Amino acid sequence: MEFYQTSKCDFLAKVLVVLTWGMLSLRAAECSTDTGSVDYEAINCRKHTAFLTDFGGKGDGYTSNTEAFRRAISELSKFATDGGAQLIVPPGKWLTGPFNLTSSFTLYIHQDAVILASQDEAEWDLIPPLPSYGRGRDAAGPRFISLIFGTNLTDVVITGGNGTIDGQGQQWWTKFRQGQLNYTRPYLIEIMFSDHVQISNLTLINSPSWNVHPVYSSFVVMKGLTILAPTDSPNTDGIDPAVVSNSFFGCLADSCSNTKIEDCFIVSGDDCIAVKSGWDEYGIAFGMPTQHLIIRRLTCISPDSAVIALGSEMSGGIQDVRAENITAISSESGVRIKTAIGRGAYVKDVFVKGMTLQTMKYTFWMTGDYGSHPDDHFDPKALPVIQGINFRDVVSKNVTIAGKLVGIKNDTFSGICISNVSIELSEHAKKQPWNCSDIQGVSSQVSPQPCALLPDQKIDCPYPSDTLPVDEIQFQTCAAATHC
């Protein structure tokens, strides 16, 4: 197997590689002087580089590369304390089953590379359900591991020159619809219990279910992602005891702290971005909130769901969410808050400014009766607190309903503020553009005039001016070889 060191390729480097790896019997690269490379931004650059082909990988579209990926990452993990390593997926179509990442590691997918998810169900191991959910999303019990998976990692980067990860989800969707799956479908990328994670400059298509799912993690950056999923997939956006979800969420922030989502384009059969933190009694017991999340420059198409959804699984709490410069076309709603009796916890301090929405059912939507419980053991006395929800500087055109804001009886959604909003209703708009109950708040310069529960106070809704710690991460310019 051959290796390319971005710093030098002379004989001394070859000897050092062999000495470092001892009995691994590795061959060093014979790098030519015209070796090509591309620059990319990452939270950290790596000292060592290898290609998937160095480990027997074949990019012909039908040879399995599962063992090549696993062997490559296992060997490169040995460089974690020596400047880290990057694995280059070169041009080609690379069929593979699931594989696990390692710390101080970069997976770089070339712009002409496609990672194809295996359709052999036997390759997909089962793992326990998430502790904050208590069960799988599609079915009770365990779930299939994600295609690209990692847990308890530090400093991991998944990036590329807009290379593609194709989940080949049609088989999974068909089995799901026909009731032939006993376990929850896999996701494309899931990172658990980790910190300093970057997922960027990729195209993700045809995921069996969720696309990108960081969970129980901190300092996560998702940037420059193009995510394409079927917009006509039947989905219930949650799980009813009798009806299971067919969710195709774009990006999720789930029980994560200090997360940033920027410059993404998402076409989804479900919420483009979903913010979650656990499900009923399981999320309450686990007690890990999503907090300090910023979303910038998002473009979304989601005919049946929200551009940004908070909940409905929010039982660990959601606080300090900031969204700005959001564009949506042909989507069901802008920002939607979903919760229910039994969820407990809170959604607090949500700030949104600068939304441009075209052809929507709802501009604003809050739901206090979402239901969808994992089982019958939820606490009916566990009422969620929805407080401090702020929207400003919104232009919305061709809208059926300006706002549907429905809280919970004896559990008022409070501190709602909506200012500087222009909504143009469609020809088929409801005669009553606003529907409000069990809420409390204010409005200012909103057209059409909101409901009486949002009186005009002639104020600007707040938006934080401080900088979140995740925004202070400094990116480096790194080099990825294109061939060796």
Catalytic residue among 270, 280, 304, 349: 270
Q: How far apart are CA 57 and CA 35, in angstroms?
A: 20
In 274-401, where does DSSP find H-type helix?
Answer: 280-286
The two structure tokens encoding residue 321? 């969410």
Q: How far apart are CA 191 and CA 221, in angstroms?
A: 12
Q: How far apart are the first and last CA of the chain?
A: 12
Q: How far apart are CA 154 and CA 81, in angstroms?
A: 12
The two structure tokens encoding residue 404? 């549907």
Q: Please report the beta strands in 140-289, taking only residues with DSSP state E, as ranges in sequence order.
A: 143-144, 148-151, 154-160, 163-166, 189-192, 195-205, 212-215, 218-228, 251-254, 257-267, 273-276
Q: How far apart are CA 176 and CA 139, in angstroms?
A: 10
* Chain centroid, CA 456 distance in Å: 36
Residues in CB range of 329: below 8 A, 6 or more apart: 299, 300, 301, 358, 359
Query: From its phi and psi, is residue 299 left (phi > 0), alpha (psi between -120 and 50) or beta?
Result: beta
For residue 367, the SS3 value is strand
Closest residue by Cα to residue 253 from 208, 203, 289: 289
Closest residue by Cα to residue 271 from 292, 291, 254: 254
CA atoms within 13 A on the CB side of 482: 13
The two structure tokens encoding residue 470? 């995740």
**In the chain, what are the helix, strand and coil shares in percent, each to the nearest 5?**
10, 45, 40
The two structure tokens encoding residue 473? 């991460």
- Catalytic residue list contains 270: yes
Per the CB < 8 A criterion, the answer to whether 411 and 369 are in contact is no
Catalytic residues: 270
